[in-house]
């Protein structure tokens, strides 16, 4: 008994502090937001592998196509011309590109790049982004960042989180100095990732992804500690069944309402990976309980 509980405690701590995380996006493997998040996850002690498109594939949704050989360099000159259909940073095999869509990149990460680093094991979690623009409501359907997360949750059955920031970057990975919005979004994304991991396995209900949107970085909302987290819906709920009861209501605010509120509020929607809308109440309730100590109510 005793050994058993010590072992489960160790595995819990192990996941929270050294989880296997596959990271992707749709803005491209060399985009700064992805790299700042990668740095933050590595600094937190996680075992991270990137598998993301060779260039900007924004708005490609759930498209998927066998990668084709490249003749030109990757975005921002981040890989040489004629580098083949997929490739890795020449000195860091944890950073990989795929000459295709975000979904294809996640598939490659799960089948090839991840197992090479993790001795054949699957990741604990898939994270996408932070995207260099918000992904709210209707945009969710076209977003490649969301497409990557949805593929992980629905097809590969690996819990996933899509992160997006209202402020765009379009900056190469080696930009110096790194603008603070990239660092703040990376820190916020790491905080939520760790909260989900600390809540224990299963990290999210089946067929659920989290759609997380950060508002703009302003003088009032300039540090990660300025922000608060609010449970939200992807789509407006006029005709939908009631949501989980929280903040004295059985209708959650939409993610658009949350990020547009006065104050520094991050929207955390419980997404349904089968149709990219809002997950049902029972699944919202599981996430509400897991994140209870960080969630707050809109004023």
Ligand X SMILES: *[C@@H]1O[C@H](CO)[C@@H](O)[C@H](O)[C@H]1NC(C)=O
Give the binding site for ligand X (CB under 6 A).
Answer: 27, 30-31, 56, 58-59, 78, 89, 91-92, 95, 132, 168, 170, 173-174
Between 34 and 197, CB nearer to ligand X = 34
Give min distance, CB of 171 to ligand X, in A.
Answer: 8
Between 48 and 95, CB nearer to ligand X = 95
Give min distance, CB of 62 to ligand X, in A.
Answer: 16
Between 170 and 257, CB nearer to ligand X = 170
Give min distance, CB of 44 to ligand X, in A.
Answer: 18
Residues with Cβ within 8 Å of 230's Cβ and at least 6 positions away in sequence, in order, are 253, 258, 265, 266, 267, 268, 295, 296, 297, 298
Between 26 and 255, CB nearer to ligand X = 26
Give min distance, CB of 131 to ligand X, in A.
Answer: 9
What is the Cα 280 distance to its own chain's centre? 21
Give min distance, CB of 57 to ligand X, in A.
Answer: 8
Residues with Cβ within 8 Å of 285's Cβ and at least 6 positions away in sequence, in order, are 244
Residue written as token pair 């920031």: 165
CB environment 127-149: b (16+ within 10 A), e (fewer) = bbbbbbbbbbbebbbbbbbbbbb
Give min distance, CB of 173 to ligand X, in A.
Answer: 6
Between 141 and 251, CB nearer to ligand X = 141
Residue written as token pair 């969301």: 146
Between 118 and 142, CB nearer to ligand X = 142
Residue written as token pair 């990460």: 109
Are 185 and 278 in contact, with CB atoms under 8 Å apart? no
**Three-state secondary-structure class, residue 231:** strand
Using DSSP bridges, classify how beta strands 208-214 and 125-131 pair: parallel, antiparallel or unpaired.
unpaired
Alpha carbons 231 and 179: distance in angstroms, whole number: 28
């Amino acid at each position: 008994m005793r050994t058993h509980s010590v072992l489960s405690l160790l595995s819990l701590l192990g996941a929270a502090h050294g989880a296997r995380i596959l990271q992707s996006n749709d803005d491209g493997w060399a985009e700064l937001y992805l790299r700042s998040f990668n740095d933050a996850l590595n600094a937190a002690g996680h075992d991270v592998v990137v598998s993301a498109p060779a260039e900007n594939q924004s708005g490609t949704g759930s498209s998927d196509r066998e990668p084709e050989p490249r003749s030109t360099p990757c975005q921002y000159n981040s890989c040489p011309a004629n580098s083949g259909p997929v490739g890795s940073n020449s000195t860091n095999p944890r950073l990989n590109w795929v000459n295709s869509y975000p979904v294809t990149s996640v598939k490659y990460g799960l089948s090839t790049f991840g197992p090479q680093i993790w001795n054949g094991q699957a990741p604990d979690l898939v994270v996408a982004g932070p995207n260099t623009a918000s992904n709210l409501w209707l945009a969710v359907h076209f977003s490649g960042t969301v497409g990557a997360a949805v593929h992980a949750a629905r097809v590969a059955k690996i819990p996933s989180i899509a992160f997006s920031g209202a402020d765009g970057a379009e900056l190469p990975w080696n930009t110096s100095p790194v603008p603070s919005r990239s660092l703040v979004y990376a820190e916020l994304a790491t905080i939520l990732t760790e909260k989900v991991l600390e809540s224990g396995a299963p990290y999210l209900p089946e067929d659920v992804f989290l759609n997380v949107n950060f508002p703009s970085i302003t003088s009032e909302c300039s540090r990660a500690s300025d922000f608060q987290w609010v449970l939200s819906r992807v789509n407006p709920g006029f005709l939908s069944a009631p949501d989980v009861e929280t903040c004295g209501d059985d209708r959650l605010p939409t993610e658009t309402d949350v990020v547009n509120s006065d104050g520094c509020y991050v929207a955390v929607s419980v997404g349904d990976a089968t149709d990219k809308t809002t997950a049902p109440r029972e699944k919202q309730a599981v996430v509400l309980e897991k994140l209870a100590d960080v969630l707050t109510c809109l004023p």
